[in-house]
Amino acid sequence: MVRLFGPLVGLFFAVALLWSFGVGVVQNMRDPEPATAVKEFHLAPREPEPGFSFNGPFGRFDKAQLQRGFQVYKEVCSNCHSLHFVAFRDLAALGYSEAEVKAIAKDWATKAKTFDPKTGETGERDNTPADHFPMVYYAGTGSPPDLSLITKARHEGPEYVYSLLTGYQDQPAELLKKFPDAKTPDGLFYNPYFANLNIAMPAPLADDQVTYGDGTKATKEQMSADVAAFLAWTAEPKMEKRKQTGWAVLAFLLAATVLAYLAKRNVWAKVH
């Protein structure tokens, strides 16, 4: 009896699953997913003009741009966002001297935390080049997102950062007309490059907010591109070395392939 009903039970469940799948497919064909404000008005990240120097297989970081980007981070972004996976001594790769790195670490607004295990007391001290950038913490709200790896955590990371920083605007009248319930809530700001169009962070940059030492005009677009490039470096400081290694490996593989082919021709030359 069990042998008779076993296959029938299995057949019943298989038919039920096929029926459910078929009903779902037909329903989706008849009733397409309704349009949403996010789907219609969300924009893909874009590159600044003339583009990032580090993109492409031969791309390299522009150290002058990285220093400008660090300045933007230091004077604007560091008030809210940490770079906890980056050490002060890493800034030497941007062209800063040992004395400059020491001065940057010592003068950093957020100090390093200390703890005395004997007394249980905590304190502060000046940062040293060996220290990582200290965490930014706000009582009651915790730590805002760390930016060390932000360009790796977001699709088209540098382009995303640049687009987000330059993308703040008023909600389009067309959006409000088509989706009246999609009005940006109080306390949030409309940005078509953010995932749900509304972001809690107000626009952080404005023209001439910093003064570049190299004389570059500090427009919002320029500062956004510079800090995006800097954050691309913090996420992958060895990028240039990786590309150089990659080309060397490709050259080796090409040479090895040619040698293997010639060896094969030589070994099998007399075989007919």
Q: 137: which 2 tokens?
A: 């913490």
Continuous segment of H or E residues that includes residue 110: none
State the pLDDT at residue 50. Answer: 86
Candidates 249, 251, 246; CA nearest to 57 is: 246
In the chain, which residues have pLDDT < 50? Answer: 29-33
Q: Please report the pLDDT score of residue 5 as a whole number.
A: 57
pLDDT score, position 30:
47
Residues 242-266 have pLDDT tens digits of: 999 999 999 999 999 999 999 988 8
Give the per-residue pLDDT at 270.
75
Q: Output the pTM of the full model.
A: 0.81
Assigned CATH topology for domain 37-86+132-237: Cytochrome Bc1 Complex; Chain D, domain 2 (1.10.760)
Residue 100 confidence (pLDDT): 97
Expressed in percent and rounded to 5, the helix, strand and coil fractions of the chain are: 50, 5, 45
Residue 32 is predicted with a pLDDT of: 45
Q: How far is CA 131 from CA 148, 154, 233, 248, 262, in A?
A: 15, 26, 18, 34, 54
pLDDT tens for each residue of 211-248: 999 999 999 999 999 999 999 999 999 999 999 999 99
Question: Contacts by 174-179 with C-beta closer than 8 Å and gap 24+?
Answer: 175/37, 175/40, 175/41, 178/37, 178/40, 179/36, 179/37
For residue range 132-146, list pLDDT tens digits in order. Answer: 999 887 756 677 899
Q: Write out the two tokens for 269.
A: 């030359």
pLDDT at 235: 96
